[in-house]
Amino acid sequence: MDTILEIRGLRAGVEGREILKGIDLVIRPGETHAIMGPNGSGKSTLSQVLMGRDAYEVTGGGVTYMGRDLLEMETHERALEGIFLAFQYPIEIPGVNNVYFLKAAYNALRKHRGEAEVDAMDFLALVKQKAKLLEFGDDFLKRSVNEGFSGGEKKRNEIFQMAVLDPMLAVMDETDSGLDIDALKIVAKGVNALRRKDNGFLVITHYQRLLDYIVPDFVHVLVDGRIVRSGDKGLALELEEKGYDWVEQCAAA
Amino acid sequence: MTGSSNARRLRAPVAPANDGQLGMSAATIKAGSSSRGTAPADAFIRAFDRIADEVFGGDPAWLRALRGGGIAHYSELGFPTPRHEDWRFTNLAPIRDAALEPADAAGRATGADVRAARVPGIGSNVLVFVDGFYSPGLSIRSAVPGLRVDRLPVAATGGDGLVRAHLGRVAGPDAHPLVALKSAFWRDGALIVFEAGRKVDEPVHLIFLSTVARAVAPRVLVVGERGSEGSVVESFHGAGDAGAWTNAVTEVSVDDSARVEHTKILLENESSFHTATIQSRLGRDAYFTSHSISLGGLIARNDINTVLAGQNSTSDLNGLYICRGSQLCDHHTIVDHAKANCASHEFYHGILDERSRGVFNGKIFVRRDAQKTDAKQTNRGLLLSDAALIDTKPQLEIFADDVKCTHGATVGRLDREALYYLKARGVNPTEAGRMLTHAFAGEIINKIAFGPLREHIDRFIFEYLDGMPALR
Ligand SMILES: Nc1ncnc2c1ncn2[C@@H]1O[C@H](COP(=O)(O)OP(=O)(O)O)[C@@H](O)[C@H]1O
Ligand SMILES: [Mg+2]
């Protein structure tokens, strides 16, 4: 497969209001793409549309993932086919144990691929190894999904889950917000360990800082539902220097 | 979970929401000779009149008076109908119309029936009652320091006065018509005493098996003497598919500084009727907790009442009910804060599928002397189908001024955000629904203190939820 994800003229919105106004983006194996943009430009909407959240209506264009029509697939199928979304605002699910939930997800993946499910012992070994990589304490594992976690802990839990599920396409929505520099480095280390020749990353961020640690191959600037500029990692630095006003003016011009 | 608050009758939104004492001593205990209105005797009074002399004739006078008082009171009140405020949402006409004869002997139950009802980790005292009658062959009895277990009718006729001192004092026959009826009809049951200052770790398990379509009125008296600690589990099961009527009453006396845990598990079949009263009375510095796990029965009504009759005491009432088909499960609670500095916490969760119905009515009295009362009542319902319905009503009557009383009722569907999150990790929608439903149940199950019991209940609830139509 020479493309993982192909987004063509994607338009989407809520209740008749258009948020994404024609997005084109191709992610090939081994590539990391960054999407930067001001608040409210549609970054999260794009990530949610890719995951199949039913609050958003796709009004135009298409998305092909691994040769299949992504928009025809249900949310859990997308996940089973290898898409992972690290949420900007991960929710708390009281009463559902972190490890129990993750084991269900992991085994659902294995089953989907025709592999044997792993037992609790083997799974715990895997989880402990990944938790160590992300310096994620054992007590987090015992707790309910995100319950009582700080903002930063929630973000770290997302990447921990991502490390366990090892996706083909990882979409990270502002994983850096709410993380201090040390936590950011740990998260970046975890993400970089997952990058391979055959998978792809879509890293959404508001700040350039994250991209010092997760170095992208391409940077796209999203303004008001459109990609107004694309370039290499230099674009992120330029954006940092000149500010979003600059691209907004570019977009208006 | 999301949903609306404090509504009376809550149906799943079409679009998912964002969410006693006896004053009477009868020479004969036939109801026919008691003063009662002109209403024609109903089937239960006739049944009582028919068996009273033969079955209860040998009882001591005080006990016959208790029975006589019960049937007389019942005669005055009559069988509950939805016209009574306490029975508005729970129509017992099917029980009245079935007019089941009182069971007069134990039917056939096997070791396998009992094994299916056992709780791992409870093996010292497991008392089995078949159709209301104690079965020595199926029961396990062991001597445990600090614990006294007896058959209630044996203890009642014994000389120590303990039963006489308590029976009908905690749950008086004047409570409501069914309690009156239970006071008249009870034949067998258990006395459990946690002796003063002793801690008994392992719960006593009472297993009630119904094998025939008859009426049974088991009676249990639990006495936690001063400074004692102990736990009782009562579980109700239907062997086969006979639709029996179990009309049970459990009285719990929690004396000063005692701690008593009571767990009731209702697993009767879906053609049976169940009406039970669990009435506790606490002294000073006492603690009582009730867990009502209610899954079975076509109509199940649980009256769970507690009186905080001494200072610095706490009552925690927890409940989990799960209904499907056309089941109805009703919890009526009365928390009576009679003395100062007491706390009560009520947590009831209902899970309803198909056309089933849930009722929750929580009354809290705070008497004039009960300053510094801290009372909290939470009732939450999870509706898994559009046709399921919950009627809920808090009733607060506060006569003291320095109190903290909170209540809240929410009814809603599974949380869409949480479902989405789980699906985004590859969990299929059915499994995601099951996980969230189990988590909702778990919030109540996790309050059970005795570990092996908690784990046992968790396991079978998990399996039970797997069989819920909306979660299959
Ligand atoms: N579910 C929704 N309902 C209504 N408006 C939404 C919803 N999601 C996003 N929007 C609106 O769409 C715009 C883009 O939002 P979002 O995608 O969250 O932007 P970003 O992630 O870039 O900050 C904002 O104006 C936001 O208010
Ligand atoms: Mg966003």
For B416-422, what is the mean pLDDT? Answer: 97
Beta strands in A16-156 (DSSP E): 17-27, 32-36, 57-65, 68-69, 83-86, 93-97, 144-145
d(CA B106, CA B209): 9
Rounded distance, CA B454 to CA B119, Å? 10
Alpha-carbon torsion (B108, B112, B115, B116), positive or negative: negative
Closest ligand to residue A42's CA: 1
pLDDT digit string (tens) for B12-58?
443 333 332 222 333 344 444 344 444 456 899 999 999 999 999 99
Place B11 in a pLDDT band, splitting at 50, 70 and 90.
Answer: low
Where do runs of H (alpha helix) occur along B120-264? 152-157, 162-166, 177-185
Q: How confident is the model at residue B157 (pLDDT cuts 50, 70, 90)?
A: confident
Could you tell me if the CB of A37 is within 6 A of ligand 1?
A: yes
Residue B52: which of B69, B76, B77 has the closest Cα? B69
Q: Domain of B301?
A: 26-471
% of chain B surpassing 90 pLDDT: 86
B43 close to B28: Cβ distance less than 8 angstroms: no
State both tokens at A27.
């992610």
Q: Residues 6 or more apart from B19 whose CB is under 8 A from it?
A: B1, B2, B3, B412, B413, B415, B416
Task: Please state, in angstroms and rounded to a whole number, the distance separating the CA atoms of residues B82 and B68.
Answer: 26
Kindly state the tokens that stand for B256.
């000063």
Name chain A contacts of B417, Cβ cutoff 8 Å: 91
pTM over 0.80: yes
Neighbours of A180 (CB within 10 A): 8
pLDDT single digits (tens) A84-119: 999 999 999 999 999 999 999 999 999 999 999 999
Please give, rounded to a whole number of angstroms, the shortest distance from the CA of A156 to a CA of chain B: 16
- Name which residue leads in pLDDT, A94 or A140: A94
Question: Tens of pLDDT along B361-396?
Answer: 999 999 999 999 999 999 999 999 999 999 998 999
Asked, for residue B15, whether it belongs to a domain, the answer is: no
Please report, rounded to a whole number, the percentage of residues in chain B having pLDDT higher than 70.
91
Structure tokens at A55: 């609050």
Min Cα separation B442/chain A (Å): 6
The whole-number pLDDT of residue B8 equals 53
| Residue B426 touches partner A, C-beta closer than 8 Å | yes
Q: Please give the average per-residue pLDDT across B390-404, as a whole number.
A: 94
Q: Regarding the domain with residue range A5-252, which homologous superfamily does it belong to in the CATH classification?
A: P-loop containing nucleotide triphosphate hydrolases (3.40.50.300)
* Cβ–Cβ contact B428 with A under 8 A: yes
Over chain A, what is the mean pLDDT? 94
A176, A210 Cβ separation under 8 angstroms: yes
d(CA A56, CA A49): 7
Contact A193, A9 (CB under 8 A): no
Distance CA A195, CA A159 (A): 13
For CA atoms A38, A41, A46, A49, the dihedral sign is: positive
Q: Report if residue B16 sits inside a domain.
A: no
Please give the mean pLDDT across all residues of chain B: 90
Contact at 8 Å (CB) between B168 and B253? no
Half-sphere exposure of B58 (CA within 13 A, CB side): 8
Q: Which ligand is nearest to the CA of A40?
A: 1
Q: Do B443 and A104 touch (CB under 8 A)?
A: no
The first and second tokens of residue B459, run together, are 């396991």
B429–A contact, CB cutoff 8 A: yes
In whole angstroms, give the CA distance from residue B299 to residue B153: 28
Task: Give φ, ψ of A189 to 5 degrees.
Answer: -60, -45
Instruction: Check pLDDT > 50 for residue A25.
Output: yes
Average pLDDT over residues B461-465: 94
> Which two tokens mark A48?
């949610």
Residues of chain B with C-beta less than 8 angstroms from the C-beta of A76: 423-424, 426-429, 432
Q: How far is the CA of A67 from the centre of ligand 2 (A)?
A: 28
Domain boundaries in chain A? Answer: 5-252
Token pair for B370:
């009960």
Of B449, B425, B12, B323, nearest to A93 by C-alpha is B425
Cα separation of B261 and B297, whole Å? 24
> What gap in Å lies between CA A250 and CA B250, rounded to an integer?
78
The residue among B456, B471, B94, B101 whose CA lies nearest residue B267 is B456
The pLDDT of residue A207 is 87
Q: Is B199 on the interface with A (CB under 8 A)?
A: no
Comparing A128-142, B135-149, B281-295, B395-409, the range with the smallest average pLDDT is: A128-142
Lowest-confidence pick of B39-53, B67-81, B301-315, B343-357: B39-53
Give the per-residue pLDDT at B20: 29
ipTM > 0.90?
yes
Contact B269, B294 (CB under 8 A): no
Contact A161 B422 (CB under 8 A): no
Structurally, chain B folds into a number of domains equal to 1
| Torsion of the alpha carbons at B436, B442, B444 and B447, rounded to the nearest 10 | -150
- Given a contact cutoff of 8 angstroms between Cβ atoms, the answer to whether A246 and A229 are in contact is no
Closest CA to B344 of B280, B399, B255, B416: B280
In this predicted model, what pLDDT tens digit does every residue of A231-246 receive, in sequence order? 999 999 988 888 888 8
Q: In this structure, which ligand is nearest to the CA of A36?
A: 1
For residue A41 and ligand 1, the question of a CB distance below 6 A is answered with yes
What's the rounded Cα separation, in Å, for the pair A19 and A27?
Answer: 22
User: Nearest C-alpha of chain B: how many angstroms from A244?
Assistant: 31
C-alpha triplet B464, B466, B472: angle, nearest 5°: 140
Stretch B85-103: mean pLDDT, rounded? 92
CA angle A201, A205, A209 (to 5 degrees): 105
d(CA B212, CA B108): 9
**8 A C-beta contact, residue B358 and residue B323:** yes
For the four alpha carbons of A39, A42, A45 and A51, in that order, the dihedral sign comes to negative
Which of B311, B327, B249, B316 has its CA nearest to residue B289? B316
**Which of the residue ranges B55-59, B306-310, B343-347 would you say has the lowest mean pLDDT?**
B55-59
**Residue B3: its pLDDT value, please?**
40
What does the DSSP 8-state code read for residue B325? T
pLDDT band at B173 (very low <50, low <70, confident <90, very high): low
Task: Let me know if residue B38 belongs to a domain.
Answer: yes
Q: Is A53 in the pocket of ligand 1 (CB under 6 A)?
A: no
What is the band of B248 on the pLDDT scale with cuts at 50, 70, 90? Answer: very high
Chain B positions in Cβ-Cβ contact with residue A144 (cut-off 8 Å): 439
Q: Per residue in B194-235, pLDDT tens? A: 999 999 999 999 999 999 999 999 999 999 999 999 999 999
Instruction: Give yes or no for a contact between A69 and A62, defined as CB atoms under 8 angstroms apart.
Output: yes
